């Protein structure tokens, strides 16, 4: 029989691979659709063929990305049904509603408005066409809402009751799904798409400047992409701050892992850059970092918006120690206790099952009450030691720094790009700036993917926070089939990525040779 | 009334018909989309990614019983991986 952990690990790798590839396409769809809509609005306002040409140029690239990326997310749903069938059943009632809405919204919005956007030039009124372009942007953004709400629920499961008879969670408050975690996660993801698309537009435009093709068009595009990217990035930072506060409240272990913090303190500093000690564990006395540059009070401000606040480290959380806002040491539930309570919840579920089989209503009610009391710790019952409940610290720590450092770099990037675009001939004369803009494009994707790594690696070992660890969520399948499909996906997605990049490059090269200063695009 | 509906339907039909007919890069993209959907739904989904609970069990009660067994009785779920 396969080692269960081999199946778990390969299934996690497979899910990560699929999600990473899917997320290569999604943020560009979210942001480029907005940039196109703004350009078309400018066309309608000015009636200038220059804006029409710009709209069509970027709309073509949006279409390529949309066509190659569409349906790549479906693979994730296939994996739910095959690799993660226990999870699918356990959360089905919660997850099903948002995903069904997403499917319907995506289908109707895309089939209708994307078609009008591409086929409707000269066939529908300019205002109706513009409305379709904006609705394409809105549809893509709404489509992202539901999957991110579902993801947020896994990080902070609320609005449901566990039904032991159905052996699944049943939604009892739909609106609870829109928690602070969900709202911040959604906005953070969507705004980061604006920033990513801004970098993409600036990078492509700088390539045109380098080739001395359609330079006024390139500068116009840099201005629109730069402003949308800058606004997107500032909003991404704002919602990132909101996410940090929510994570502190609901996933303190993830925050501690992001920081590589084992023993917290009041007025806790944040590590701006550093190397975590790979030998450090929650129960030894090794140093946390081999090297670190700390910013005083930084983590207390980030986590609780209070420079003197206490932020617990991994060992504090494991031991159930916290300090409240009055400075008093308080006890939370230690991980050892959570494991004990989790095992009691499993016993209560077994007792419920036996009572149900013998139609003993009183015993069923008693077991159901016990289960309800212990259920918040249900997932911990699968662990033998607290080590199993701690996420991979190094990956989370470094991914967080990659995201933040690159995010800060792109703030400077947008400011410089906009400054340069508004100075006469500045960008055209400074070729090194054009090079930096072009080389920066893949780093924006790296920044975006690093954000997801923080979110998803930092919440390990949970598929559903505190309730279902990955080793319970996985199906009884063979590791051979998972390994086979992992490599199959690796090949398919790489082919799609190569197709996307090559078609885009070809199209950028071809369309940039047209005169984009007059309305000659078809 | 019916004439205006028919005229409206004809306009929608022509929008899609002309749109597909006049595509340039779009034709390549549609080929990619169709090949991709074929691989996803016919090859991958059909051959490699069955919905296990729908395939192996006839009704929700059986599915719930299976998951119950998996989550509280299967000893493999409670086995801890060895420390690295």
A-B CB pairs within 8 A amount to 122
How far apart (Å, rounded) are the C-alpha atoms in residues B18 and B13? 8
Query: How close is the nearest chain A Cα to the Cα of B78, in Å?
Result: 5
pLDDT of residue B1: 61
β-strand partners of A162? A169
Reduce the DSSP state of residue A290 to 3 states and report it. Answer: strand
pLDDT tens, residue by residue, A404-433: 999 999 999 999 999 999 998 888 888 999
- Closest by Cα among A465, A494, A92 to A251: A465
Per-residue b or e along A257-272, where b marks 16 or more CB atoms closer than 10 Å to that residue's CB: bbbbbbebeebbbbbe
Region A31-52: mean pLDDT is: 95
pLDDT of residue A107: 66
B19 touches chain A (CB under 8 A): yes
Please answer whether residues A214 and A516 qualify as being in contact, where contact means their C-beta atoms are separated by less than 8 angstroms. Answer: yes
- Both tokens assigned to A177: 């799904």
State whether A63 and B25 contact (CB < 8 Å): yes
Are B44 and B55 members of one domain? Answer: no
Q: Which residues does A215 contact at the CB level (< 8 Å), separation at least 6?
A: A208, A209, A428
How far apart (Å, rounded) are the C-alpha atoms in residues A169 and A114? 37
pLDDT of residue A518: 67
Are B68 and B44 members of one domain? Answer: no
Contacts of A503 in chain B (CB under 8 A): 25, 28-29
State whether B76 and A4 contact (CB < 8 Å): yes
B76 touches chain A (CB under 8 A): yes
Residue to mutate among B13, B29, B59, B65, with most A CBs inside 10 A, is B29
Are B5 and B35 members of one domain? Answer: yes
State whether B70 and A476 contact (CB < 8 Å): yes
A395 φ, ψ (degrees, to nearest 5): -60, -45
Residue A335 has pLDDT above 70, yes or no: yes
Domain ranges of chain A: 4-251+392-512, 255-331, 335-386
- Both tokens assigned to B42: 């016919």
Prediction ipTM score: 0.83
Are B37 and B60 members of one domain? Answer: no
Residue A319 has pLDDT above 50, yes or no: yes
Are B11 and B39 members of one domain? Answer: yes
Contacts of B49 in chain A (CB under 8 A): 78-79, 81-82, 485
State whether A167 and B64 contact (CB < 8 Å): yes
Domain count, chain B: 2
pLDDT level of residue A522 (50, 70, 90 thresholds)? very low
Are B33 and B10 members of one domain? Answer: yes
Are B30 and B17 members of one domain? Answer: yes
Helix (H) or strand (E) holding A461: none
Contacts of A496 in chain B (CB under 8 A): 32, 36
How far apart (Å, rounded) are the C-alpha atoms in residues A132 and A481? 43
How far apart (Å, rounded) are the C-alpha atoms in residues A120 and A6? 51
Are B34 and B6 members of one domain? Answer: yes
Are B44 and B60 members of one domain? Answer: no
B40 touches chain A (CB under 8 A): yes
Residue A519 has pLDDT above 90, yes or no: no
State whether B64 and A165 contact (CB < 8 Å): yes
pLDDT of residue A54: 93
State whether A81 and B50 contact (CB < 8 Å): yes
Contacts of B80 in chain A (CB under 8 A): 383-385, 388
- Helix axes of A180-210 and A215-250: crossing angle, nearest 10 degrees: 160
Among all residues of chain A, which has the CA nearest to that of B76? A4
pLDDT tens, residue by residue, A381-398: 999 999 999 999 999 999
B13 touches chain A (CB under 8 A): no
- Helix axes of A180-210 and A479-512: crossing angle, nearest 10 degrees: 40
Contacts of B15 in chain A (CB under 8 A): 115-116, 119-120, 123-124
pLDDT of residue A90: 92
Among all residues of chain B, which has the CA nearest to that of A167? B64
- Nearest CB to A115 within list B11, B19, B52: B19
Residue to mutate among A129, A472, A481, with most B CBs inside 10 A, is A472
- Closest by Cα among A317, A316, A299 to A308: A299
Determine the distance from the C-alpha atom of residue A454 to the mean position of all C-alpha atoms in its chain, rounded to a whole number: 9
State whether A472 and B32 contact (CB < 8 Å): no
Contacts of A86 in chain B (CB under 8 A): 67, 70-71
pLDDT tens, residue by residue, B8-50: 788 778 877 777 777 777 788 888 888 888 888 888 888 888 8
Among all residues of chain A, which has the CA nearest to that of B59? A166
Residue to mutate among A86, A281, A367, A496, with most B CBs inside 10 A, is A86
pTM of the model: 0.91
Among all residues of chain A, which has the CA nearest to that of B38? A71
Contacts of B71 in chain A (CB under 8 A): 86, 90, 167, 349, 472
> Hey, what long-range contacts does B22-29 have (CB within 8 A, 24 or more apart)?
B25/A60, B25/A63, B25/A64, B25/A503, B25/A507, B26/A63, B26/A118, B28/A503, B29/A63, B29/A64, B29/A67, B29/A68, B29/A503
Contacts of A79 in chain B (CB under 8 A): 49
State whether B68 and A86 contact (CB < 8 Å): no
- Closest by Cα among A179, A201, A203, A193 to A236: A193
B30 touches chain A (CB under 8 A): yes
Are B20 and B61 members of one domain? Answer: no
pLDDT tens, residue by residue, A436-478: 999 999 999 999 999 999 999 999 999 999 999 999 999 988 8
- On the CB side of A478, how many CA atoms lie within 13 Å of its CA? 6
Are B36 and B3 members of one domain? Answer: yes
Ramachandran region, residue A269 (left: φ > 0; alpha: ψ -120 to 50; beta: rest): beta
Find the domain containing B68 and state its range. Answer: 51-84
pLDDT of residue B80: 66
Residue B81 has pLDDT above 70, yes or no: no
Are B62 and B39 members of one domain? Answer: no
- Helix axes of A215-250 and A49-69: crossing angle, nearest 10 degrees: 50
How far apart (Å, rounded) are the C-alpha atoms in residues A95 and A77? 11
């Amino acid at each position: 029989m396969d080692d269960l952990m081999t199946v778990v690990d390969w299934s996690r790798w497979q899910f990560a691979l699929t999600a990473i590839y899917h997320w290569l396409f999604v943020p560009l769809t979210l942001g480029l659709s907005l940039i196109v809509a703004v350009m078309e609005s400018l066309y309608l306002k000015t009636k200038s063929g220059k804006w029409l040409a710009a709209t069509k140029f970027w709309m073509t690239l949006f279409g390529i990305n949309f066509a190659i990326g569409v349906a790549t997310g479906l693979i994730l749903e296939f994996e739910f049904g095959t690799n993660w069938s226990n999870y699918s059943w356990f959360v089905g009632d919660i997850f099903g509603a948002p995903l069904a809405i997403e499917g319907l919204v995506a289908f109707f919005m895309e089939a209708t408005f994307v078609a009008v956007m591409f086929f409707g030039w000269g066939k529908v009124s300019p205002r109706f066409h513009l409305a379709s372009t904006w609705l394409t942007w809105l549809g893509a953004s709404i489509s992202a809402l539901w999957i991110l709400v579902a993801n947020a629920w896994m990080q902070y499961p609320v609005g449901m009751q566990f039904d032991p008879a159905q052996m699944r969670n049943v939604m009892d408050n739909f609106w609870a799904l829109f928690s602070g975690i969900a709202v911040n996660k959604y906005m953070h993801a969507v705004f980061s798409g604006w920033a990513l698309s801004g970098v993409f537009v600036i990078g492509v435009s700088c390539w045109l400047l380098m080739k001395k093709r359609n330079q006024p068009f390139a500068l116009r595009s840099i201005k629109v992409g730069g402003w949308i990217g800058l606004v997107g990035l500032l909003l991404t930072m704002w919602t990132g701050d909101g996410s940090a506060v929510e994570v502190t409240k609901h996933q303190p272990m993830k925050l501690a892992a992001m920081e590589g913090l084992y023993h917290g303190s009041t007025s806790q500093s944040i590590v701006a850059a550093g190397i975590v000690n790979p030998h450090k564990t929650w129960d030894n006395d090794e140093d946390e970092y081999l090297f670190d540059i700390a910013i005083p009070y930084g983590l207390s401000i980030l986590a609780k918006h209070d420079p003197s606040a206490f932020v617990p480290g991994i060992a504090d959380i494991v031991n159930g120690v916290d300090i409240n806002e009055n400075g008093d040491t308080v006890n939370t539930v230690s991980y050892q206790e959570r494991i004990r309570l989790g095992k009691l919840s499993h016993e209560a579920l077994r007792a419920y099952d036996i009572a149900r089989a013998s139609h003993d209503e009183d015993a069923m009610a008693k077991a159901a009450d016990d289960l309800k009391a212990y259920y918040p710790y249900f997932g911990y019952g699968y662990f033998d030691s607290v080590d199993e409940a701690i996420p991979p610290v190094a990956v989370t720590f470094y991914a967080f720094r990659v995201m933040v450092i690159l995010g800060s770099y792109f703030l400077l990037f947008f400011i410089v790009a906009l400054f340069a675009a508004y100075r006469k001939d500045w960008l055209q004369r400074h070729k090194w700036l054009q090079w930096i803009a072009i080389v920066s494009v893949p780093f924006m994707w790296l920044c975006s993917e690093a954000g997801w790594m923080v979110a998803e690696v930092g919440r390990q070992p949970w598929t559903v926070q505190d309730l279902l660890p990955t080793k319970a969520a996985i199906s009884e399948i063979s590791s051979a089939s998972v390994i086979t499909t992992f490599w199959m996906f690796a090949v398919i997605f790489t082919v799609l990525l190569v197709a996307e990049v090559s078609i885009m490059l070809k199209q950028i090269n071809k369309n940039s040779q047209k005169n984009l200063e007059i309305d000659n695009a078809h | 009334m019916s004439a205006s509906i028919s005229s409206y339907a004809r306009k929608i039909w022509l929008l899609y018909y002309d749109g597909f007919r006049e595509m340039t890069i779009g034709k390549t993209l549609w080929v990619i989309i169709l090949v991709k959907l074929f691989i996803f739904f016919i090859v991958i989904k059909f051959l490699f990614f069955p919905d296990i609970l729908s395939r192996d069990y006839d009704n929700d009660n059986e599915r719930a019983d299976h998951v119950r067994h998996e989550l509280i009785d299967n000893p493999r779920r409670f086995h801890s991986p060895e420390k690295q």
